[in-house]
Amino acid sequence: MRMRGQAYIVYRRSRIGKITHDTPRGARKLGPTCTSKMCQKSVQRKCHQFSIDDRQAVFNTFWETMSWGQRKVYVTNLVDTIPTKRPGKNTGESRRKGPLIYHLINEMGKHKVCNKIFLNSLGIKEWTVRYRMGNSTHGMSPDTESSRPRIKQTKKEDERTFMKEFLESLPKLPSHYCRKSSSKLYLKPVLQSKKLCRLYMEKCHAEKVSPLSLATLHLILEDGDISLFSPKRDQCDLCYSCRLGKLCEDMWKQHTERKEQARMQKDTDKKNPQQKLCSVYTMDLQAVKVAPFLSASAVYYKTKLAVYNCTMYNLQSRDAVCYWFDETQGDLVASCFASCIVDTLSRTIK
């Protein structure tokens, strides 16, 4: 579609390196004709001899029947460069390449026109013409598809491998709220973007490796399913779907009513312990901690323990019990939390 001059969607890279395919580009259009009085009075310029049909035929031929290489040759053959008459004072060669003379072709032949009607008839910009003329010899453009020299780009595989090994050496934590639906890992909360870049630069300097760009660092983080920030708040699937506009109004209303009923029941249960009708406990799991928790650069690459804290709170007696365990003693599974609940109840109920 881009080759035919039609509207298309292009790829765009953000500042953090994320690539999206959502940037529209407009179609090529036939511009307005020349209305200059100077061209109308001129004997050399024949802008008035090109009607709207003639210009539309030139535009259609240029964008519908030609390839990129043919368009480059077509433009360079219709534009002439007048050599500079006055050479440079010091070098003997002028930096000015000289004015450009534009032509168009109709049934009457090839005629000289102004740059406005030439550019508008082909739907191109002036910099495109000047670039083609600056890179052409005897009317032929050397940078066509068949003759353009391909520059082999270095992929820097060694540097990318070093960056991946550096990221793998950093301690990572699982998501606190979204473990069931997400496999993303998170770096320590104190390790933000600037600090991560500084550590990477220090590591490259110590190992004598050429550092890569910040955009490459973010791309490798995304490929490795690693994030710099931990999720701030838990959110159920229905709330998230409603936020994206993918949930019908009836389902959202039922979900809201159930939420209000649960909140009212919670308030009622809070009053019952005060009247000594029942025992009510609240339970919460603290965000995952690492041990030891230090901010020195030297310990970032050391293996650390992931530590968990499950808290049980009695609303009647206001007693709290913290079950503190690390990843070697238990994992974040239902059996661990069931053990905490059973132990709390066995302490209270005799």
- Residue 198's pLDDT is 82
| Mean pLDDT, residues 126-142 taken together | 71
Say if residue 246's pLDDT is above 80.
no
Say if residue 11's pLDDT is above 70.
yes
Say if residue 59's pLDDT is above 80.
yes
Greater confidence, 234 or 153? 234
- Residue 311's pLDDT is 92
Q: What is the Cα–Cα distance from 81 to 164, expressed in whole angstroms?
A: 53
Q: Which residue has the tokens 């040759």?
A: 73
Token pair for 202: 């220090």
| Mean pLDDT, residues 50-77 taken together | 88
Say if residue 302's pLDDT is above 80.
no
Q: Which residue has the tokens 């368009």?
A: 71
Greater confidence, 181 or 294? 294
Sign of the Cα torsion 249, 255, 261, 266 reads negative
3-class DSSP state of 311: strand
3-class DSSP state of 223: helix
CB distance 62 to 123 below 8 Å: yes
Token pair for 274: 């005060």
| Mean pLDDT, residues 18-43 taken together | 86
Q: At what angle do helices 157-169 and 214-223 cross, to 10 degrees?
A: 60
Say if residue 144's pLDDT is above 50.
no
Cα Dmax for the chain: 113
Say if residue 95's pLDDT is above 60.
no
Q: Which of 10-14, 28-32, 340-344 has the lowest mean pLDDT?
A: 10-14
pLDDT band at 210 (very low <50, low <70, confident <90, very high): confident
- Residue 322's pLDDT is 92
Greater confidence, 297 or 11? 11
Say if residue 119's pLDDT is above 60.
yes
Q: What is the Cα–Cα distance from 174 to 8, expressed in whole angstroms?
A: 40
pTM of the model: 0.40
Q: What is the Cα–Cα distance from 6 to 215, expressed in whole angstroms?
A: 31
- Residue 146's pLDDT is 47
Residue 255 burial (C-beta neighbours within 10 Å; 0-12, 13-18, 19+): middle
Q: What is the Cα–Cα distance from 212 to 43, expressed in whole angstroms?
A: 60
- Residue 160's pLDDT is 84
- Residue 147's pLDDT is 47
Say if residue 133's pLDDT is above 50.
yes
Residue 81 burial (C-beta neighbours within 10 Å; 0-12, 13-18, 19+): middle
Say if residue 55's pLDDT is above 80.
yes
Measured torsion, CA atoms of residues 70, 74, 75, 78, in degrees rounded to the nearest 10: 170
Of 310, 323, 316, 321, residue with least CA distance to 347: 321
